[in-house]
Structure 1
Amino acid sequence: MKNQDSKIQWGTLKRLLSYLLPYRFRLLTVAMTSVLSTLFLILGPFVLGLVITTLFEGMMNNGGIDFYRISQLLLGLAALYLFSVYLSYIQEYLMVGVAQHVTYTLRHELHHQLMKLPIAFFDRVSTGDLMSRGVNDIDKISSTLQQTLTQTITSLMTMIGVVVMMLIISPLLTLIVCITLPLSILITKRIIKYSQVQFRQQQQALGALNGYIEESYTNHPLIQSYHQGEDMKSKFTPYNASLFEANWRSQFLSGLIVPLLNLLNNVIYVVVAIIGGIFVVQRTIAIGDVQALIMYIRIFTQPINRVANITNTIQATIASAERLFQVLDISMPTSDYGSKVPEGRGEISFERVSFQYDANKPILKDINVKLKAGEDVAIVGSSGAGKTTLALLLLRFYEANEGSVSIDGLDITSIDDEVLRRMTSIVMQDTWLFSGTIRENITFGLPLATEDEVITAAIKARADAFIRKLPNGYDTHLDEQASGLSEGEKQLLSIARVMLSDPRILILDEATSNVDSRTELQIQKGLQQLKQGRTTVTVAHRLHTVRHADRILVMHDGQIVEDGSHESLIENGAYYRHLFLKEQQNSI
């Protein structure tokens, strides 16, 4: 199990690094500037050691201090540091660009994938969790790519360069310092082993918390109306506590690395300082070299600590990348894209169709029904009977577990999704309008529509009159909730949008259930215009809204139990008559 987790982590890291390949020449430049910048910094302590040796020898000898040599050395030291800063600026500039390009690509791929995923995926994953993956996880990857790569190169070059310079000064003292390296690696490896699990749990807990927050804020009016604020606060506590625990454990474990390494480094620092002092007394090493060596030891410990911090960052980044790739790797339903295009007016056929969301809970059972082209068909039944599910299978929002769904004789799995979407449109119970103008909302399915086409669609949908009364007419800007419009007006805009797209098949899913009777009458007039010349499937709870349908399918427990017109079902359909009479009694 541990080996499998390790393979997953390395596989995720390799996949993430593959996004850097298109920018390999920039990265090569970053690496070169990092090497040169580090080299100039490493030479600094050596030059400073020469300055101290010159000062010490001048003070000990009668010849005096050689200030000219000291000034030359200090000028050279200043030049080294200035070049190092300039090269660091170049590498940072290039790396920021690379990191932003990679995160741009990841966001694009994630959004593209989400637009293709079936509705079933969004039933399983909360919106807040998806937002966390698209924002928090990608931001984590961005910051890591921007900082970690240059820090890794700089740290490795610093350790190599420092070891070389220390070997030049004193091989024995260098050997003492290098003893810390395997101990540092051992400490880091042991802590990483336990903290990686906590980092993964941290990202999962963050996604769950975001999902709960998004749900709470979206439904805030409902929560307040039922006085459930305190209850929602109590439900928030476990999510917050779970994230707190995961954060605390991951940060505590990873935070142990630096203090332990500092303790080890300080011990070595003291040992080298004592031995170096003895060597100076014995005149086997210059005092400036000891000073340089002590500075190199300090520099040597910095990249070790930095690598430890980088390791912590990479662990969190791998956890974020895993969550992102989980979405990107979801396989899509296969079909012969573009190979077949239905020809006809919208005949629909369900043949032996069965469907279930969960393995032990069938929703549709062996559905067999054909709808004629241009027919107005209503689907009625009690809640949970499978009405909406049957309609959504037609849009291929879900895949039938058994059987087939056909349009004009072609199985919908052999029809390209884009073609299928152009052939069908849906008016839902909950209207969906986005931030933008009314014109942009109407033309959502047909962005290149002309002004005349937009107005004609609005007139047929009975929406033109109220649109023209708005301050800016069709250019009136709506916020995310379209708060300036009534529910009926929102629904009329939805109808206008479908009217403009001119589909072959129309699906109405409880299109008038959220409005009052007066508004419903207005919407019904718009729907009558919309139904003309199209095969219409209407999902309804209120039976009086579908009395004039050409045909009514009555569903119960996932099956079609009755089929006929309103009059024939009242006369011969026991279950439909029961539903209709019950509705009549409730309306009194």
Structure 2
Amino acid sequence: MKIFNYEPLITKEQLKSASGKKKKGARAENWTYTLKRIFDFIAEQKSRLFLVLFLVMISSVLALVGPFIIGRLLDRFVAEGVFSTLDYWLYGLVFVYFLYGAASYFQNYLMVGVAQQTVFRIRTSLYTHFFKLPLRFFDKRKHGELMSRATNDMETISSTLNSAFIQVFSSILTLTGTIGVMLFLSPALTLITLIIVPIMFYGMRWITKRTSLLFKHQQAAIGELNGLIEESITGQHVVKAFSQESEMLRQFEEKNKRLRAVGFWSLTYSGFIPKLMNTLNGLSFAIVAFVGGLFAYYGHISIGTIVIFTEYARQFTRPLNDLANQFNTVLSALAGAERVFLILDEKEDNIAGEHVSLSGDVKFDNVSFQYEAGAKTPTLSNVSFHIEAGQSVALIGQTGAGKTTIMQLLTGLYEKTGGTILFDNVPIESISKASLREQMAFVLQDPFLFEMSIKENIRYGRLDATDEDVMEAAKKANAHTFIEKLPDQYDTVLSSDGSQISQGQKQLLSIARAFVADPKILLLDEATSSIDTITELHIQAALEKLMENRTSFIIAHRLNTIRKVDFVIVLNEGKIIEQGPRQKLLEQQGVFGQMLNV
């Protein structure tokens, strides 16, 4: 059985890049930037943080006082044989360690509050930022990977702030104070103790060269695995329908092995640090004890000084050990924080503009758009049309013609790459996204329902809608009948995928949500595609009533659903090949007329 069988699962190039030379200053600049961002979030708790640092200083000083008192006790009461004031010294020693324990407790208590509040602010900023990002950002990233940044990476930051911050600062103070007292007691023994520092430095350098990038690989591997798991769970119906369980398991095994390999090497290399520190700690203690014993034998120092020095020699390597151990934790946290801040640094969607009360007049003037920069064929090319307020318009064309893209540009979910979009002769850039969207209602081809009651799902179209408004909207959408048959009726809580009801019923709830929104502009993207023919007739009548005196854009492959629209736009490969009033196009017997005759 091979013990070290993980190396093939991480490429030699990656291991080489983890241990090889990097561009000068690149890593330090990233760390400095990430640390600065973290401290920016801590800044609002400066007073509490200063109190923590003050308590750390107190506990560090008290940690140095205790061994010094013990050494002086040995010199005075054992070597000199004077016991008259021994009890006072012992009481003082107890008091010192009591204060040390109290300071340590309160510094940890306060730091937990600082850490949790800081992580709370970062997590809130991240979640808020998600809603400000354009859809292009989400199109290019797996949702599970984003969830990993909001959960796993945030938890890594939290645990590091809870423990590492105090530990690092305390270790630095203890190390500085220990060296100072050691120099005061015996410069010769201090120099002997410091012999291990170069060994420690080069050992740490060798290890951290390999761990820093490996921790980044580990966080990325966790994100990839979470992305696959999230995708597998949400797509269970498709996986089972096409019997692709074995393929999903294969992908999972591949990513899981990758995570295991990266985790193995990162923890293996980082595990060298405590082993190295413990070895050097023991070596230092042995050297100090041996040389100190010789100094005492020849009368250069007292027994008490040897006791103090051996304790300080151990205390000298302990903060170094703590710093070494915390360094790995900090590396992991910085890798996670960097991934979080990369999202926070993403450019936000342009939501600026003024609130404009719309009548529903819409104009496209030579509008072009492409999802990917540099694409050979744009999704829309020089599209122009004018829809007057209150008109209904049908967008017709084959799949990929650009119908849904026009809808997305209307709502500002994507920004055009050319041309002008006007609402009531006001450029879309001058209208705030909130103002624009609150005057629109959507019924999409794939309705999305939240894990809340049916009542709240319908009310999502207008949060101030009363229960009576919700019920009236459901009746207009022909959803009231099936809702009344559910065990809890309007209070029935839907699961995240709405599996308790049919696809058609989900669409009915989505239509009811549009009814309750009472919009100026209505967008219907294959709104009746998941509904049976009989139900479609009832829904069509309700939709026709809903579209009265409202500007309505309708995408439909079933041409009978657009038999009463005012205007028709026929698209092909991102271009308008025919447009005009419905009756006029029928009389011309062009592309639209031929479609109806097929």
TM-score when normalising by structure 1: 0.92
The equivalent residue for 1:341 is 356
8 Å Cα contact 1:404/1:411 also seen in 2: yes
Question: Could you say what secondary structure the match of 2:300 adopts?
Answer: coil
For 1:535 and 1:557, the matched residues in 2 are separated by 25
Question: Could you say what secondary structure the match of 2:96 adopts?
Answer: helix
After TM superposition, the structure 1 = structure 2 runs for residues 75-114 of structure 1, keeping only pairs within 5 Å, are 75-114=91-130
Given the alignment, which residue of 4, 27, 40 partners 1:18?
Answer: 40
> After alignment, is 233-242 or 520-529 more displaced?
520-529
8 Å Cα contact 2:379/2:574 also seen in 1: yes
For 2:290 and 2:483, the matched residues in 1 are separated by 87
What whole-Å deviation, never above 9, does each CA across 1:392-428 have from its counterpart, x for those lacking one? 1000110011111111111111101110011212111
Paired residues, what number? Answer: 574
Instruction: Classify 1:292/1:5 alpha carbon distance in 2 versus 1 (closer, same or farther; 3 Å).
Output: closer
For 1:72 and 1:540, the matched residues in 2 are separated by 93
Question: Could you say what secondary structure the match of 2:338 adopts?
Answer: helix
The equivalent residue for 2:155 is 139
8 Å Cα contact 2:172/2:319 also seen in 1: yes
For 2:546 and 2:160, the matched residues in 1 are separated by 53
> After alignment, is 516-525 or 535-544 more displaced?
516-525
For 1:201 and 1:336, the matched residues in 2 are separated by 38
The equivalent residue for 2:274 is 258
For 2:257 and 2:538, the matched residues in 1 are separated by 50
8 Å Cα contact 1:461/1:530 also seen in 2: no
- 1:496 lines up with 2:512 in the alignment: yes
Instruction: Classify 1:56/1:508 alpha carbon distance in 2 versus 1 (closer, same or farther; 3 Å).
Output: same
Instruction: Classify 1:225/1:387 alpha carbon distance in 2 versus 1 (closer, same or farther; 3 Å).
Output: same
Question: Could you say what secondary structure the match of 1:385 adopts?
Answer: coil
> What is the one-letter code of the residue matched to 1:411?
P
For 1:239 and 1:327, the matched residues in 2 are separated by 23
For 2:248 and 2:581, the matched residues in 1 are separated by 47
Given the alignment, which residue of 351, 354, 366 partners 2:368?
Answer: 354
The equivalent residue for 1:161 is 177
| 1:336 Cα offset (Å) | 4.8
What whole-Å deviation, never above 9, does each CA across 1:25-72 have from its counterpart, x for those lacking one? 1111101111111222222222333454467537xxxx7x84x65554
8 Å Cα contact 2:133/2:349 also seen in 1: no
> After alignment, is 435-444 or 400-409 more displaced?
435-444
After TM superposition, the structure 1 = structure 2 runs for residues 45-124 of structure 1, keeping only pairs within 5 Å, are 45-53=67-75, 56-57=78-79, 66=83, 70-124=86-140
| 1:175 Cα offset (Å) | 1.6
For 1:253 and 1:578, the matched residues in 2 are separated by 71
8 Å Cα contact 1:562/1:573 also seen in 2: no
Given the alignment, which residue of 470, 481, 487 partners 1:465?
Answer: 481
Given the alignment, which residue of 557, 573, 589 partners 1:541?
Answer: 557
For structure 1, the residue ranges without an aligned partner over 5 or more in a row are 583-588
For 1:36 and 1:556, the matched residues in 2 are separated by 76
After TM superposition, the structure 1 = structure 2 runs for residues 284-323 of structure 1, keeping only pairs within 5 Å, are 284-323=300-339
The RMSD of aligned alpha carbons is: 2.3
8 Å Cα contact 1:348/1:370 also seen in 2: yes
For 2:203 and 2:538, the matched residues in 1 are separated by 73
8 Å Cα contact 1:495/1:526 also seen in 2: no
- 1:27 lines up with 2:49 in the alignment: yes
Question: Could you say what secondary structure the match of 2:156 adopts?
Answer: helix
| 1:355 Cα offset (Å) | 0.7
| 1:105 Cα offset (Å) | 0.9
> After alignment, is 264-273 or 108-117 more displaced?
264-273
The equivalent residue for 1:247 is 263
| 1:568 Cα offset (Å) | 5.3
Instruction: Classify 1:435/1:30 alpha carbon distance in 2 versus 1 (closer, same or farther; 3 Å).
Output: same
For 1:124 and 1:265, the matched residues in 2 are separated by 50
Question: Could you say what secondary structure the match of 1:357 adopts?
Answer: coil
What whole-Å deviation, never above 9, does each CA across 1:121-178 have from its counterpart, x for those lacking one? 1111111111111111111111111212111121012112222332333221112112
> What is the one-letter code of the residue matched to 1:355?
F
| 1:277 Cα offset (Å) | 1.2
| 1:564 Cα offset (Å) | 4.2
8 Å Cα contact 2:507/2:531 also seen in 1: no
For 2:595 and 2:185, the matched residues in 1 are separated by 96
Question: Could you say what secondary structure the match of 2:64 adopts?
Answer: helix
Given the alignment, which residue of 19, 22, 26 partners 1:4?
Answer: 26
What whole-Å deviation, never above 9, does each CA across 1:52-109 have from its counterpart, x for those lacking one? 4467537xxxx7x84x655544443332222211111111111111111111111111
The equivalent residue for 2:431 is 415
> What is the one-letter code of the residue matched to 1:259?
K
The equivalent residue for 2:20 is none
Instruction: Classify 1:579/1:120 alpha carbon distance in 2 versus 1 (closer, same or farther; 3 Å).
Output: farther
For 2:122 and 2:572, the matched residues in 1 are separated by 45
> What is the one-letter code of the residue matched to 1:5?
R
8 Å Cα contact 2:352/2:433 also seen in 1: no
For 2:148 and 2:340, the matched residues in 1 are separated by 10
After TM superposition, the structure 1 = structure 2 runs for residues 32-43 of structure 1, keeping only pairs within 5 Å, are 32-43=54-65
The equivalent residue for 1:433 is 449
8 Å Cα contact 1:492/1:526 also seen in 2: no
| 1:389 Cα offset (Å) | 0.8
TM-score when normalising by structure 2: 0.90
| 1:458 Cα offset (Å) | 2.3
The equivalent residue for 2:6 is none
The equivalent residue for 1:371 is 387
> After alignment, is 275-284 or 25-34 more displaced?
275-284
- 1:474 lines up with 2:499 in the alignment: no
For 2:116 and 2:222, the matched residues in 1 are separated by 23
Question: Could you say what secondary structure the match of 1:380 adopts?
Answer: strand
The equivalent residue for 1:585 is none
For 2:122 and 2:589, the matched residues in 1 are separated by 56
